[in-house]
Chain A
């Protein structure tokens, strides 16, 4: 582990600031993209092109009455919405945004991300339980079951990337993709990771903890005001974080395609600007994918989600991992 330097603090500060803002921007983007898909205009009244709409949304949420159900568990009900926000914020600590631009490089960064990312579901499950509503409870239980089922294929998909990097550090994972992106070397895991990232972020088609139509909002049925706002923002932060992880693990992080082969040497500042722009562009694309999917396709049923997770994704990811392990072993020992 490297010593904490001033750069770390600066990067962490900027990253957190950007992540918080990106949630607001994602809300705006979601509404505009949804409107575009549905032949509408979307928000276009508050500020230029409706850009201040998220601010208006948050102000509205702050002014709403904060209701706790009469027989709910008040403490947990209040703590629950904070958990997903914290876990989303904690992930940026290890993600490299550019060459040398990261808050910290811990040698088990990948494990850290997997651990932190799956903690977010506690907020949803506890919130569902503390609300004293059957709908919320069902939503919370669905979230827990879904998280357990999709954590395994996700972990295995990530593990098959680690085979190429040979290290659990994010920096090494990204640098191993300087020439060959993981999506080219390991396309099956890329698909599995994207699918599970959708499930982890509780987005359509895996939004059954929320299930607006049968569970009427699921875990956040009984939430109002800024407590609901936290769940709301956390969802978008998880979308952004999920996009960052997809980018980092499979789409070369801050590297341009085959950058190692053709990208000339350049100055530190120019390289930093290029790296961050590339990273942001990729993240924006995947965030758009999240939104695009959400407004286009229907939602799975509980048993279908379980079937997909345990009977399809898990065996495929196991065999993919084993197959790649054998190939990588032979490559290193006999060919290269």
Chain B
């Protein structure tokens, strides 16, 4: 390289413009980066992380101002996975929109289905049969375990232990097989329906769930055994990314992120939906607010989920799995194939769908694995929502990340992202 004209070489126009936009982004956080054209050594290093980065859990982008290995200021840039799902909802019937909810937080599709269907049922006054409630709870808790397992695998992988990822994925595989047998889909299950669920649990699905519930606690114990006394893992997580309770509440963090900061807020307990008031479970809470606290909270939540599934299996009542009112839910296939009314109702449900009363609006939230997942629906009396809003947990929890990152080290970024456990599909909608 010709050192005489080094400036022409290392300071091309595009890079400069790009660099300045990064500085501007940091300026929003009241951080000024002196740009000294003459002496590059006097300028602080601004590291752009993502949106194409393997450890930012999708397309999260971070702009870090570094002092050596230390992060002085961090700026978050989200929205790279915005797909306009809320707008899409306005042109779909309620039932048609339901599969889209699978694609928001794609790690716990069942919870999203339940959240959306419950919101619609609330606005349209649909009664859901008992058995459907319990099936929904089983599905939601399985998806919670599946989501937490992915978090565990990726978070531990971010600290550097690569094999763990595959061990948790083996367990997730079992849950996917269960979903395959429950609803015919492994990943985006779309099993819940407005007014109930698509179909009853098959015998082999039930057997598989029972097997899983019996075997999983041992696996969980193994995970604990591997990590709890692992000094490196412990040191990497303890005291990293501390989020005080007040700050967590201010930001609006929910789910394990908030409970790890010492505030026992869980919608399953605070405002029970489905039949969560009829099962017993604890709300794991930790006071430290660091990454290790969030680790313990999620691990214990998996224990509690198993406990809930056990109780649901014991209590599972007999009966229909979808409401028997053809104006509110799809009639069963028997009716559709063998009676004219059933056929007409099926057609009407597909064409127009369920029509909540004009002017009614509702907000209903559930405890998704990542936190509070709420659906806000305004109706104008037609089969489409007039306005549908999603309160996604990842979006709120990500806001805490900027706070946590300031003053930590570069190596901590990825495990803090892992600790908050965002899903960009959920955050950007």
Contacts and interface: CB of A to CB of B under 8 A. Distances in A.
A34 interface: yes
Interface of A: 34, 37-40, 71, 73-74, 132, 134-135, 138, 142, 204-205, 207-208, 211-216, 295-304
A73 to B, nearest CB: 6
Interface string B63-80: 000000100000000000
Contact of A296 (B48, B158, B161, B236): B161
B161 A297 contact: yes
B28 interface: no
A134 B409 contact: no
Given A138-B69, A214-B411, A216-B53, A298 B230 contact: yes
B107 interface: no
Contacts of B236: 298-301, 304
B210 interface: no
A214 B414 contact: yes
Nearest to A303: B409
Q: 3 nearest interchain CB pairs?
A: A299-B160, A298-B159, A38-B166
B232 A208 contact: no
Contact of B54 (A216, A303, A304): A216
Given A38-B167, A39-B167, A299-B232, A213 B54 contact: yes
Given A71-B10, A213-B55, A213-B158, A302 B167 contact: no
Contact of B413 (A134, A135, A214): A214
A236 B411 CA distance: 25
Nearest to B240: A301
Contact of A38 (B9, B69, B163, B411): B163
A134 to B, nearest CB: 5
B289 to A, nearest CB: 19
A128 B9 CA distance: 18
Given A39-B170, A301-B412, A213 B157 contact: yes
A83 B9 CA distance: 27
27 contacts: A39-B170, A71-B9, A71-B10, A71-B12, A138-B47, A204-B160, A205-B232, A211-B160, A212-B54, A213-B157, A213-B160, A214-B413, A216-B53, A216-B54, A297-B233, A298-B160, A298-B232, A299-B160, A299-B161, A299-B411, A300-B235, A300-B236, A301-B235, A301-B409, A301-B412, A302-B409, A302-B410
B162 interface: yes
A134 B45 contact: yes
A302 B160 contact: no
B156 interface: yes
B207 to A, nearest CB: 23
A74 to B, nearest CB: 8
Contacts of B167: 38-39
Contacts of A298: 156, 159-161, 230, 232-233, 236
B1 interface: yes
A40 B166 contact: yes
B378 to A, nearest CB: 43
Given A73-B1, A298-B159, 7 more contacts: A40-B166, A71-B9, A212-B162, A214-B158, A214-B414, A299-B159, A303-B409
Nearest to A305: B411
Contact of A205 (B160, B170, B409, B414): B160
A301 B170 CA distance: 28
Contact of A138 (B53, B156, B163, B410): B410
Interface string B296-329: 0000000000000000000000000000000000
Contacts of B411: 208, 211, 214, 299, 301-302
A227 to B, nearest CB: 18
B160 A207 contact: yes
A212 B414 CA distance: 11
A39 B166 contact: yes
B69 A213 contact: no
- Which of the listed residues A34, A40, A301 has the most CB atoms from chain B within 10 Å of its own CB? A301
Contacts of B412: 301
A296 to B, nearest CB: 7
Nearest to B47: A134
Given A39-B170, A213-B54, A295 B162 contact: yes
A268 to B, nearest CB: 46
A258 to B, nearest CB: 34
Nearest to A210: B160
Contacts of B413: 214
A37 B236 CA distance: 23
A208 B162 CA distance: 14
Given A40-B166, A73-B1, A297-B161, A214 B235 contact: no
Nearest to B410: A214
- Which of the listed residues B69, B160, B233, B409 has the most CB atoms from chain A within 10 Å of its own CB? B160
Contacts of B69: 138, 142, 302-303
B55 A300 contact: no
Nearest to B418: A213
Contacts of A138: 47, 69, 410
Contacts of B235: 300-301, 304
Contact of B232 (A132, A215, A297): A297
A88 B45 CA distance: 34
Contacts of A299: 159-161, 232, 236, 411
Interface string B386-425: 0000000000000000000000011111100000000000
A23 B411 CA distance: 29
Interface string B215-228: 00000000000000
Contacts of A37: 163
Contacts of B230: 297-298
Contacts of A212: 54, 160, 162
Nearest to B233: A298
Contacts of B163: 34, 37-38, 295-296
A99 B277 CA distance: 77
B48 to A, nearest CB: 8
A304 B240 CA distance: 13
A296 B160 CA distance: 9
Contacts of A297: 160-161, 230, 232-233
- Which of the listed residues A138, A207, A298, A304 has the most CB atoms from chain B within 10 Å of its own CB? A298
- Which of the listed residues B47, B233, B410, B414 has the most CB atoms from chain A within 10 Å of its own CB? B410
Contacts of A74: 1
B348 to A, nearest CB: 50
A137 to B, nearest CB: 8
Interface in B1-39: 1, 9-10, 12
A214 B159 CA distance: 9
